[in-house]
Amino acid sequence: MSQAEATLPAGRDVVLGAALEAFFEQGYHGTSMRNIAARAGSAVSHAYYYFPSKSDLLRALILQVTADLLAALKVARAGAGPAPEAQLRAIVRAHVALHTERQAESFVGNTELRSLGEGDRAQAVALRDQVGALFRNVVSAGMDRDVFRCPHRDEAVLAIMTMCTSVATWYRADGPLPAEVIGERYAELALNMVGWQNN
C-alpha cells in the first residue's frame, strides 16, 4: 500500500463494498458516486481515487464475481471424479452455493450486466461463456458415455444455469430451506433435465 493510500479513510475494498450495497438496494442508475462515498464514510474524491467512475465499480464487481464463479466450478468439477453425473451434481451445488453466499454480488452481476459499457460487457460475457462451456462439456461427456439421454443439450444447460442463477433473486438465509438443501435438490433436478440413466 502506498503512503497516499494509507492516509485515506476508506480503502478500495470499503468503497467497493459500499458500491455493492448501493447497487443492490437502489440499482446502478439510482446510485451516485456521492452516495457510494457517503456509505463508505469517505469523501467523493477518495472514492474516485480508487475508481475513476461509477462504471469502473460495476465492472470490478461483475468481473470479480463471475471469475470467482468460474474458478469455483472448476474446483468442484475437478474434485468430483471422472463420472459425468458426479461432476454435474458438484458444479450445480457450487453454482448455487456461490449465488447464496454472495447473493448481492450475484444479483447485481445478473441484473446490471446491461449497464456495463460495450467493452466491459463483452469481457463479462466472455467469462459467462466459459461458465456455459464448462456445463456443456460435462453434459456432453455424459451423453458420450450414454449416461445422459439429453436430446437438447444446449437448452438443458441454459435451463440449469438459469435455475441456479435465479436463486440469488429469492433466497433468504432465514428461509425454510438451507442453501445446502437447495443445492442438493437443484442437482437432482439438473440430472433429471439431462436424462440421467441411474443404472
pLDDT of residue 81: 96
Mean pLDDT of the chain: 92
The answer on pLDDT for 109 being more than 50 is yes
The answer on pLDDT for 7 being more than 70 is no
pLDDT of residue 3: 45
pLDDT of residue 43: 86
**Percent of the chain, pLDDT > 70?**
94
Q: What is the mean pLDDT of residues 85-107?
A: 97
The 3-state DSSP class for residue 112 equals coil
Q: What is the mean pLDDT of residues 115-144?
A: 96
pLDDT of residue 197: 81
pLDDT of residue 198: 78
pLDDT (tens digit, 9 = 90+) per residue, 147-183? Answer: 999 999 999 999 999 999 999 999 999 999 999 999 9
In the chain the domains, ranked by start, together with CATH numbers, are 3-50 (1.10.10.60), 55-193 (1.10.357.10)
Give the span between the Cα atoms of 181 and 186, in whole angstroms.
Answer: 8
Give the span between the Cα atoms of 123 and 63, in whole angstroms.
Answer: 8
Backbone angles phi, psi at 188, to 5 degrees: -65, -40
Give the span between the Cα atoms of 94 and 184, in whole angstroms.
Answer: 10
The answer on pLDDT for 103 being more than 50 is yes
pLDDT of residue 47: 87
Instruction: At 32, list the grid cell.
Output: 451516485
Is the distance from CB of 171 to CB of 100 less than 8 angstroms? Answer: yes
pLDDT (tens digit, 9 = 90+) per residue, 29-44? Answer: 999 999 999 999 888 9
pLDDT (tens digit, 9 = 90+) per residue, 46-76? Answer: 888 899 999 999 999 999 999 999 999 999 9
